[in-house]
Amino acid sequence: MSDVIQFPEHDVPPEADESLVEIAAEAPAGLVVIGVPPGYAALESHRALGAGADVMLVSEGVTVEDEVVLKRRAREAGLLLMGPGCATAILDGIGIGFANVVTSGRVGVVATSGDAAQEATVLLDSFGVGVSACMVTGRRDLSEAVGGISTFDAITRLASDPATEVILLVADQWSPEVVRHLLPALASSGRAAAACIMGSEHLKGPDGVDVSAAIDSAALAAARLAGARPVIPATEPSGWVSAGHVRGIFSGPGLCAEASAILAERLGRVVSNAPAGHAVALEGDEVVRGHACLDVATAAAAHGAPHPIEDPDHLARLLVDTVADQTVAVVLVDVVLGRAAHPDPVGALGPALSRALQARPSLQVVAHVVGTEADPQVLSDQQAKLEALGVRVAPTSGQAARLAAALVRPGR
């Protein structure tokens, strides 16, 4: 049995502030990066908009009321507010924050979560079409309360960008009513378009928009619209493990939501603190039982702890607690690379992974690495370290979740 994610009480360490300095230093002219305590974030965003700058709002904890006011003000001024909680962007060919090192290309990405945006961009890079821009609008942007303001505005920008031939939308949290209006806007943008609407197994888009429920399917569609013919290698399970549970541990809400939707579609009840599709929201201090997907980043932000992409320590601690639950047969994890990420995330997770697999030889660990060969951590190096530990490595986040489900589902 595993408890909810626990964080010790402490001040934010110096390295968290240093990473924000690194994010801000790389920002192009005309963009203000804001990462201050929640009580000041809205005020500083208003100041930046008043000065005529786009805003990359890294801060979490901004109220939905302030978010709506800020985004409406940005729209009226012809500006763009990305976030709250936006720590990833690619603008004017510059990767900002947790962005991966990808080639410039023909596909523009708009996403509600940073880790989902990173997965989309690295897949497009691997498919040979590259990325023209990447904008993260915030997980509440497609809620009824916000109405998709920044997502609509980001699509409008990409539609006027000569370098963008295809637009890829990735949404993990969304309101059906907002998406009902958003997809036609995407179709009428003047650009070929594909969309990942997580958990939307049967949602049909308008003519001109290829809609999928997972990031890899949507990225494939976008790459094909850009003229490529990519193929994702199949990942086949080598035998059924047991009728135990799958426990996912993630560095961000986007890939956690995607996995929760995929697992719920295949395994039934799945709980998550970042649910999508048929997954069930994890309530407060509820003890985690059964199939579950846990986003460590959201919990870390709530406790003032460093982001798990910067510091995988809390991922490692949760992994230890998860393995202690004897009902867990498969652990599903992500490893996220990038210029502001930990210099060796697998090295940081390695001891916990090694002890887990030694303590429980029947346990299976499935992982996906979000990254490229050009990233400082080097994709193939991180994958090789995982494989040396006995971890099964999948080529996409969606494939990792599908493999994890197949390993505990008999008679497939």
User: How many Å apart are CA 167 and CA 143, to the nearest integer?
Assistant: 21
The verdict on 207 and 261 lying in the same domain is no
Number of domains in the chain: 2
The verdict on 28 and 127 lying in the same domain is yes
The secondary structure of residue 28, as a DSSP letter, is P
Given 3-state DSSP classes, what are the helix, strand and coil percentages for the chain, each rounded to the nearest 5? 35, 20, 40
Q: Are 253 and 115 in contact (CB under 8 A)?
A: yes
Q: Are 219 and 124 in contact (CB under 8 A)?
A: yes
* The predicted structure's pLDDT at residue 232: 83
Helix (H), strand (E) at residue 180: helix 176-187
User: How many Å apart are CA 352 and CA 38, to the nearest integer?
Assistant: 33
Residue 2 covered by a domain: no
pLDDT bin (cut points 50, 70, 90) of residue 22 is very low
Q: Are 151 and 186 in contact (CB under 8 A)?
A: no
Q: Is the pLDDT of residue 176 over 70?
A: yes
Q: Are 86 and 138 in contact (CB under 8 A)?
A: yes
pLDDT bin (cut points 50, 70, 90) of residue 67 is very high
The verdict on 264 and 362 lying in the same domain is yes
- What torsion do the CA atoms of 403, 407, 410, 412 make, to the nearest 10 degrees? 20
User: How many Å apart are CA 10 and CA 38, to the nearest integer?
Assistant: 17
Residue 268 covered by a domain: yes
The verdict on 273 and 197 lying in the same domain is no
User: How many Å apart are CA 228 and CA 131, to the nearest integer?
Assistant: 13
pLDDT bin (cut points 50, 70, 90) of residue 76 is very high
Give me the domain span that covers residue 255: 245-407
17-34 burial by CB neighbour count: b if 16+ within 10 A, else e?
A: eebbeebbebbeeebbbb
Closest CA to 293 of 320, 346, 331, 345: 331
The verdict on 58 and 173 lying in the same domain is yes
Residue 16 covered by a domain: no
CA–CA–CA angle 314, 319, 322 (5° rounding): 125
User: How many Å apart are CA 361 and CA 352, to the nearest integer?
Assistant: 14
Q: What is the CATH number of the domain that holds 309?
A: 3.40.50.261
C-alpha 104: how far from chain center: 20
Closest CA to 308 of 270, 338, 351: 338
- What torsion do the CA atoms of 258, 262, 267, 269 make, to the nearest 10 degrees? 40
Residue 371 covered by a domain: yes
The verdict on 139 and 266 lying in the same domain is no
Between 58-67, 100-109, 196-205, 233-242, the lowest mean confidence (pLDDT) is in 233-242
The verdict on 124 and 252 lying in the same domain is no
Please say which residue of 192, 225, 258 terminates a domain. Answer: 225
Q: Is the pLDDT of residue 19 over 80?
A: no
Which are the contacts of 174, defined by CB distance < 8 A and separation ≥ 6?
Answer: 112, 142, 143, 197, 198
Give mean pLDDT, residues 404-411. 80
Residue 10 covered by a domain: no
Look at residue 24 and give its three-state secondary structure. helix
Helix (H), strand (E) at residue 167: strand 166-171
Q: Are 379 and 369 in contact (CB under 8 A)?
A: yes
125 to each of 66, 120, 304, 328, 333, how far by Cα in Å?
A: 35, 9, 33, 34, 22
Residue 6 covered by a domain: no
The verdict on 93 and 184 lying in the same domain is yes
pLDDT bin (cut points 50, 70, 90) of residue 252 is very high
Q: What is the pLDDT of residues 293-328, one digit of tens each?
A: 999 998 887 777 889 999 999 899 999 999 999 999
Residue 336 covered by a domain: yes
237 upstream amide cis, omega within 30 of 0: no
Q: What is the pLDDT of residues 337-367, one digit of tens each?
A: 999 999 999 999 999 999 989 989 889 999 9
Q: What is the pLDDT of residues 133-154, one digit of tens each?
A: 999 999 999 999 999 999 999 9
Q: Is the pLDDT of residue 13 over 80?
A: no
* The predicted structure's pLDDT at residue 299: 80
* The predicted structure's pLDDT at residue 201: 78
* The predicted structure's pLDDT at residue 120: 98
The verdict on 201 and 296 lying in the same domain is no
The verdict on 190 and 142 lying in the same domain is yes
The verdict on 253 and 382 lying in the same domain is yes
The verdict on 323 and 377 lying in the same domain is yes
β-pair partners for 56: 33, 82
Residue 85 covered by a domain: yes
Amino acid at 306: P
Amino acid at 202: H
